[in-house]
Amino acid sequence: MATLTLPTSDGRLETFSTSASPAPAPAVRPFNRIAYAAAHVVADPLADGDPWIDEMVDWDATVAFRRHLWSLGLGVAEAMDTAQRGMGLSWPGAQELIKRVTEASRDVPDAVLASGAGTDHLAPGPDVTIDDVIRAYEEQCAFVEGVGGTIILMASRALAAAATGPDDYARVYDHILGQVREPVMIHWLGDMFDPALAGYWGHGDLDDAMDVCLDVLASNAAMVDGIKISLLDKDKEIAMRRRLPEGVRMYTGDDFNFAELIAGDGQGYSDALLGIFDAIAPAASAALGALTAGDEAKFHEILEPTVALSRHIFQAPTRFYKTGVVFMAYLNGHQNHFTMVGGQQSARSLPHLAELFRLADAAGLLADPDMAATRMRAVLAVHGVEA
């Protein structure tokens, strides 16, 4: 047990001691749910450059973390928003990431990998047309397919800016889905994750937007493996799940209600593609193993304390959740520093990080509490707190 001084949300300092919460047990695999962790990138703090501008990535540590996820039976969703796509990682950086991780996956038996293809190399603007958006999607899809990868079709800021209504969305998605080699996952990312995606599918109302999206899925069901929705609204996800075309999966992206959605109900369940699975990978693996073994009570018992942690990490402004994900990797020794691409380690306050530490401890997700406490003290010291 380690003892240290942590700040509180009201500006006080309090003594905190780590608990003896048991770590999750090894999982039974394979799982009865498909489960992807959207993975973060590890910055290189020793590289010489401008941290806010230059993409300084520690490729070895980044790939090593993917191997960790695969070792737990999780799939890797690559070059997604968790990897700071559009918030520090550009398309050239994503290309390098996708290429390296795809190559690494070939050495891992049964490794599951899918990679994001979007339009982030096309800056939104008044002169951007729907044809420009289509060409941008084509370029990125061709790259992912060219390295032998599986596509996650990401939401497009340029499309959200250029579209004049639902027909433009249908045109773009129909065109791209008519060209891909194999079924893809479609990602509907809500504006709480990216404000530039407000009004996606041509409607501000989520029910109307869902109707448009479902029409696109129905028209292209043969080339759609599933849809990941990140709306943080379990009722909307369940309603959409029950209306999906036959053979199209729902991948939950709800980092608030994932346990309930994965467990499902009498009318179905959601598979998973979650940023929080990066931070809680051992617990996710153990819980999925319990669910596969038919022990739903154990599944919920393992995940219940992680939900509080996830809701904290993904609290508004939700787009800054990557900071908490990387902080968990730092605490658990998957990287030896708390530095992020784009300087995003500064996006959350010290009291926020302190509460994350408490919640991670309560969930049994500090792999080595003494090491985690030492690392937490280092961060505290930088902020002037002697712990």
Q: Is residue 381 part of a domain?
A: no
Q: How many domains does the chain have?
A: 1
What are the mean pLDDT values of the chain's consecutive 10-residue runs (387 residues total)? 93 92 75 98 94 92 98 97 95 98 96 98 97 98 98 98 98 98 97 95 97 98 97 96 98 96 97 98 96 96 96 96 98 97 96 98 95 97 89
The residue assigned the tokens 């490729």 is 59
Domain for residue 376, yes or no?
no
Q: Give the Cα separation of 119 and 157 in Å (integer).
A: 8
Question: What is the DSSP secondary structure assignment for residue 180, as one 8-state letter?
Answer: -
Query: What pTM was computed for the model?
Result: 0.96
Q: Is 371 exposed, middle or buried (0-12, 13-18, 19+ CB in 10 A)?
A: middle
Cβ atoms 120, 85 nearer than 8 A:
yes
Q: What is the pLDDT of residue 29?
A: 79
- Residue 387 included in any domain: no
DSSP structure string for 337-354: S---GGGGGGGS-HHHHH
Reported for 246-250, long-range contacts at CB under 8 A and 24+ positions apart, including other chains, are 246/221, 247/221, 248/217, 248/221, 248/224, 249/34, 249/225, 250/226
Q: How far apart are CA 60 and CA 87, in angstroms?
A: 21
All residues at 6 or more sequence positions from 351 whose CB lies less than 8 Å from its CB, including other chains: 7, 8, 9, 11
Q: Does residue 356 lie within any of the structural domains?
A: no
- CB count in 10 Å sphere of residue 272: 29
Q: How far apart are CA 274 and CA 294, in angstroms?
A: 22
Is position 20 within any domain? Answer: no
In the prediction, which pLDDT does 162 show?
Answer: 98
Q: In this structure, is residue 18 part of a structural domain?
A: no
Residue 358 inside a domain? The answer is no
Q: Where are the beta strands (DSSP E) in 86-198?
A: 113-117, 151-153, 184-189
- The answer to whether position 136 is within a domain reads yes
Domain extent, residue 68, equals 29-343
Question: What are the angstrom distances between the C-alpha of 177 and each of 146, 169, 189, 199?
Answer: 16, 12, 18, 21
CATH code, 183: 3.20.20.70
Give the pLDDT score at 262.
Answer: 98
